[in-house]
Copies of this chain bind each other. A is one copy, B any other.
Amino acid sequence: MDRIVIIGLGLIGTSLGLAIRQSMGKDVEVVGTDLETSHIATAKKMGAIDRDERNIPAAVQGADIVILATPILAMRDLMEFMVPYMSEGTVVTDVGSTKKEVVAWGEELLPAGVSFVGGHPMAGKETSGPKDADAAMLKGAVYAICPAPSATEEATKSIVAIAQAIGAKPYFMDPVEHDSYIAAVSHLPFLLSVSLINTTTKSAGWREMSRLASSGFRDISRLAAGDPVMHRDVAVTNRDAIVHWLDEFIKNLHSLRNLVKDDQEGLEKALVDAWEGRARWLINRDSEEPMIGEGVNASDQFMGMILGDTVASKFREMGDKGKEDPTRYRKS
């Protein structure tokens, strides 16, 4: 029987356990561990693991696949610690939100005969810990796969097979590319959320102001509720890309500030651009077929057909400068 070991039974580790046990059934034994005893108990109760094994050497010896699902900096220590106990042919993977450093550690630290294939399922919630784990979260999620240079083809295939079994979409990426892209679409949004909270809650008027904070504030600040340790590890293993995207964002926001200040036409264009950009993203995302390592296959023409009229009408509304013609109401 195949043995899959999950180290770290937080939100993602436990969700993976649930998804693997549901989809791969009796062919595999899922063994799990965590430094928090309560996490192990919860994961077991939820049915995310077949059994727990707190003794890491015993857990990884002879394992087919070891999944690291801890905060990123802990993965390095775990890899170093596991080395003497690893068996030829074991495949190690992870689920961390940055890939360049993790893949480099896997390549450098793990012994010959053990392949490292980095992974990153694009799924998450702002909560952490196993209690909100959910196999459905991984269904349809893009699953980035970054094999270390010396990983065997077979090792890579085994991780792709897991991703496919749980209903995710495996997507091959270069680790550097992955980290740059994910900085823009995940780490940047998180830091905006952090900065929004810190800008507002530390201001003099916060007590009064907080009463007016509603669903918009709640959504934009949601990510700031994420686990600080996890996000600290993400930031320190992806510094350059994050700083690059923060700089790009600040430049863009400063331009927007100037448009608000005294360029109504420019502001209108920026608002319509954003409106259209988000609509395109959603249409594109929903029309995508699962694919491995191919480019994005979006049909711009198709999107144009759907979006064209709506965007045109937004521009027309803008042209009215918000001036409704009240005489139109008179035609009763």
Which residues does A use to contact B, with CB under 8 Å? 33, 35, 53-58, 70-74, 77-78, 80-82, 122-125, 141-142, 144, 171, 177-178, 180-182, 184-186, 188-203, 205, 207-217, 219-226, 228-229, 231-233, 235-236, 239, 242-243, 245-250, 252-254, 256-257, 260-261, 264, 267-268, 270-275, 277-281, 284-285, 288, 295-296, 298, 314, 317-318, 321-324, 326-332
Contact = CB atoms under 8 A, between A and B. Distances in A.
Given A260-B242, A322-B229, A219 B220 contact: yes
Given A123-B215, A212-B182, A278 B221 contact: yes
Nearest to A230: B322
Contacts of A277: 197-198, 201-202, 224
B246 A260 contact: yes
30 contacts: A54-B329, A58-B332, A78-B326, A81-B329, A125-B215, A177-B205, A182-B212, A184-B203, A184-B209, A185-B212, A185-B214, A186-B217, A192-B192, A192-B253, A193-B274, A194-B270, A196-B249, A197-B277, A198-B274, A201-B278, A202-B277, A203-B248, A207-B298, A222-B278, A225-B275, A229-B317, A229-B318, A232-B271, A242-B260, A246-B257
Q: Which of A190, A208, A328 has the most CB of B within 10 A?
A: A208
A229 to B, nearest CB: 5
A80 to B, nearest CB: 8
Nearest to A257: B246
This protein's copies in its complex:
2
A250 B246 contact: no
Nearest to A225: B278
Contact of A71 (B54, B233, B322): B322
A329 B34 CA distance: 8
B77 A323 contact: yes
B275 A228 contact: yes
B284 A232 contact: no
A261 B54 CA distance: 36
A318 B232 contact: yes
A331 B54 contact: yes
A260 B70 contact: no
Closest 8 CB pairs of A and B: A73-B322, A55-B332, A81-B326, A201-B277, A189-B220, A228-B271, A122-B214, A56-B329
Given A220-B192, A233-B322, A279-B225, A212 B181 contact: yes
A56 B314 CA distance: 25
B212 A268 contact: no
